[in-house]
Amino acid sequence: MPFNSIPAIDFLNRESELAYLRRLPEVKSDGLTGNVILTGGRGIGKTELLKQLYLRLFREEGCTPFYYSFRTANLKGNYFARDYFARFVRQYIAFLRKEPSLAENVSEPLQKLMPLVSSLGLEWLLDCMADFQVHLDNNDLYWQVIAAISVPVTAARKGGRPVFVMLDDFDAAENLYESVRGDAHGLTSLFSEAMKNSLCPHVITGSAAALEAIFADQAFIGGVERLRLGALPDDLARQLFRSLLGKLRLSCPAEESLQFLNLLRGNPLYIRNLAAAARKMQKDNLAEKDLVECYSMDVSEGETARYWSSVFSRCTGGAARKKAVVKLLMHSVEGGGMEGERLSKVLGLREAETGAALDELQASGILSDQEPLLQDFIRGLFLREIEGRTAEQVREAIEKKYSRAKPESCFELVIPMDLNAELVAAGAVEQIGKNLGLDSDFLSFLQLALIEVCINAIEHSGSHDRRILLKFISRADDIEITVESAGRPFTLDSLSAVPAEEKLRGGQKRGWGFRLISGIMDNVKVERVGDRTRVILNKNIKHKEVL
């Protein structure tokens, strides 16, 4: 309900948008568009903006506000029509009486409100209720939906004041159905007539991609304008976080620790969820390490994880489909291509199923969202659903990503799998090492390890794109080298399965690489991401020493 909003004092940096929207009744009465699609990233505050607008209009007399969320609606046509109609009647009466409880008591049968409607002299509303009941008795879905959608227009004409309609998560209306899902295409377009009325401005939210597809329909063309809700600036994001911690009686981190909030990209939902995670984890005297721990809990199993899981669940079917979609998302996060046939083979789905999953994810906004937090959620989901990691292991993986020392330098390189490609890689690490002032003998061992990994990728991966991706990260006390290529999978266990004595007796010259690499590096890890194999080498940095 629109009354369960946050305190206005915590709703920051949105006054210009509120002022713009509050003028829509005036704009529409002048014959201009007066309907707005409100866009912005998930969690950025679109729903909260509607609720704040609703509360301000509710306290005034200028126009009647009506809020409806499709996110929680039952989308079977006749259920939707009854719910939409009943919620409007309750909110309309609540506005006239200035009694929010009348709108919030959705369990009360609508018939019980008829004496109150009569006492307010709303004979036209009694007529609407009687007509709607006739459509229900006749089991006429089309007229039930039309009557429900039209009641705000009737109220504006009969009541003498505009009705401001706010439709949240409107893209879900595309899934309205009669008996089974998909059997009643086009019900969304029935809203177009109500939106054309000069007394009923509409503000609509939802997935930007899905809304653009809906409003490309001929029935809507030219009838809406766009308003994008942006992120909070850094100073306001920190102000909001401090305010929330204060209300929870938690101490605020030092300014340098608050730099971590930049990861949340000014998203009010994430900021509130991080503060809630600090309370749940009973954190006080917060430092950056504590923020990282709270973040890892929130993004893997907290409120933010539940939010994205609910979005994700709309794009999946059974268990097999869910695992395939998780792989697809991870493939996207890691920068993998989206070619249909090859991607279908990686996921183990038919091309039609892969295409359907891609379309659903694209419409949900998950694929188009490149924010770090969403990528961390997807990685956590992959670790849990595909690799079988525990919740604690997922948290540790996320914490490790942000707790480690920040890179002093990072270089990336792509080389083709041509003759002597491994020497190109060795030359690159040599130059990088010299720039960093690394010991020459130390560099020689790094080059040797890197050459072995590259040779293995060239000879055994069967890569379709014939490319090796290299990444070098140098920190104060260690260097990390990542070698990634597409093709056949392998593991360290499989590469060390043949005993050394057997190799010697058989005259085997290849296959020694990973034993050598393991002797040189402090840590060697192999990961499989989609159809790509990633080898990660770590070595403590030594200066002016011989290994």
Q: For the chain, what is the largest distance between any 2 Cα atoms, rounded to a whole number of angstroms? A: 102
**Domain 409-540 has what CATH class?**
alpha beta
Strands 467-474 and 202-205: unpaired
Q: Where are the domains of the chain?
A: 8-228, 232-401, 409-540
CA distance linking residue 240 with residue 238, whole number of Å: 5
Q: What b/e sequence results for 133-143 when a residue is b if at least 16 CB atoms lie within 10 Å of its CB, and e otherwise?
A: eebbeeeebeb
The torsion angles phi and psi of 52, rounded to 5 degrees, stand at -65, -40
Q: Which two tokens stand for residue 158?
A: 């009969």
**CB-based burial of residue 193 (10 Å sphere; 0-12 exposed, 13-18 middle, 19+ buried)?**
middle
pLDDT given for residue 341 in this prediction: 62
pLDDT given for residue 507 in this prediction: 42
pLDDT given for residue 343 in this prediction: 64
Q: DSSP letters along 113-169, please?
A: GHHHHHHTT-HHHHHHHHHHHHHHHTT-HHHHHHHHHHHHHHHHHHHSS-EEEEEET
What is the C-alpha R_g of the chain? 29
pTM: 0.69
pLDDT given for residue 124 in this prediction: 96
pLDDT given for residue 544 in this prediction: 46
pLDDT given for residue 508 in this prediction: 41
Write out residues in the chain with pLDDT < 70, as ranges: 1, 218-219, 314-321, 335-349, 353, 357, 360, 362-370, 404-408, 490-514, 529-530, 542-547
pLDDT given for residue 485 in this prediction: 86
The CATH number of the domain covering residues in 8-228 = 3.40.50.300
